[in-house]
Chains A and B, each alone.
Chain A
Amino acid sequence: MSSQATALVDLVTGRTVSAVLHDDLDELRLIDGEIEWSPIRLRSLRQMIASGQATLPQHIHWNWAVKAVQNRLLAYRTLGIEAAGTMQGLMMVILTGHLARLEPDRNKPVVYVEFLETAPWNSREFTEMPTFKGVGTRLIEAAVRLSYDEGYSGRVGLHSLPQASRFYVEGCGMTNLGSDPDYHDLPYLESPASRSKR
């Protein structure tokens, strides 16, 4: 595992704070992340249901400890951002088997983002007062850099949960190619080589 400096915005003070981007987390770090996040997710879920909230976070069932088992294969890589001594966001990518859909790079490899989640205390779906801003953006930027490192020219693709599509288009400059009938009708988004931000 290697790491590099990055930054997030502390939404309480409005100041930029130092963070660390880890580019290859092992299974134990993912399990540690789930141990930290899961009780907070569950408490939030309980509160949402008790208060009669109609719309629940669409990724409420995600479990990074289970994903950790998949992470053993070469095809998978998990990156994470740590700040204030805790994991603030996690992203699992697949480095093979996914091809670009946008011309002119159609059928060339992409780094495919399988899962991306910010810690529940940073997510507006779980709390009205998030702690840090910028976790998702930093992780997608890291995916683009990884795509360059792998020789994929910055191409990144992902299927988004409907609640998150706007973030990927407006926050990350990705192109929404519409819902994919071959993948639960979820919207597919791609960042082509020429437009990916390094």
Chain B
Amino acid sequence: MNAKKTMTLNLTEKEMAALERLCRKKDLNKTALLRQALRLYELIDARLEAGEAIFSENRRTSKKAELMVL
């Protein structure tokens, strides 16, 4: 596996609570969840850079909304 580097992350109480909630929901530890989030962010960014748009769709109403990404 690739060598890993360590970093310190400062989060607010609310951010930490959200992180912990997602970790419980997805059955992941904090490192695994944040690595997943980084990969997803990079993937979305690459698609937007390539001219694609990212949408979410309500399965019930089929209504689509464009996902805005920083």
A residues in contact (CB < 8 Å) with B: 2, 23-24, 73-75, 95-97, 105, 107-109, 149-153
Contact B28 A151 (CB under 8 A): yes
B1 touches A108 (CB 8 A): no
**Given known A74-B39, A75-B40, A97-B40, contact A2–B28 (CB-CB < 8 A):** no
Query: How many Å lie between the Cα of A96 and that of B26 in the bound state?
Result: 12
Known: A74-B39, A74-B42, A96-B39. A105 touches B1 (CB 8 A): no
B2 at the interface (CB under 8 A from A): yes
Measured between beta carbons, the chain A residues less than 8 angstroms from B35 are 150
The 8 closest A-B pairs by CB, nearest first: A151-B32, A96-B39, A75-B39, A74-B39, A75-B43, A96-B40, A96-B36, A151-B28
B interface with A by C-beta (< 8 Å)? 1-2, 25-29, 31-32, 35-40, 42-43, 46
Give CA–CA (A192, B68) in the complex, Å: 33
The residue on B at minimum CB distance from A150 is B32
CB atoms of B26 and A108 under 8 A apart: yes
**Nearest B residue (CB) for A2:** B1
What B residues does A97 contact at CB under 8 A? 39-40, 43
Contacts of A107 in B (CB 8 A): 25-26
Report whether A95 and B28 are in contact in the complex, using a CB–CB cutoff of 8 Å: no
Q: Tell me what chain B mostly uses at the interface: helix, strand, loop, or mixed.
A: helix
Can you add 18 more A-B contacts, CB < 8 Å, to A73-B43, A108-B26? A24-B1, A73-B46, A74-B43, A75-B40, A95-B36, A96-B36, A96-B37, A97-B39, A97-B43, A105-B27, A108-B27, A108-B28, A109-B28, A149-B1, A150-B36, A151-B28, A151-B29, A152-B28
Contacts of B31 in A (CB 8 A): 151
Q: How far is the CA of A96 from the CA of B28 in the complex (A)?
A: 12
A96 touches B32 (CB 8 A): no
| Chain A residue, CB-CB nearest to B1 | A2
Alpha-carbon separation in the docked complex, A109 to B40 (Å)? 12
Q: Which residues of B contact A96 (CB under 8 A)?
A: 36-37, 39-40, 43
Closest to B27 in A: A108
In the bound complex, residues from chain A placing their C-beta under 8 Å from that of B46 are 73
By CB atoms of chain A within 10 A, which of B1, B27, B42 has the most? Answer: B27
Within the complex, the shortest CB–CB distance from B62 to chain A, in Å, comes to 13
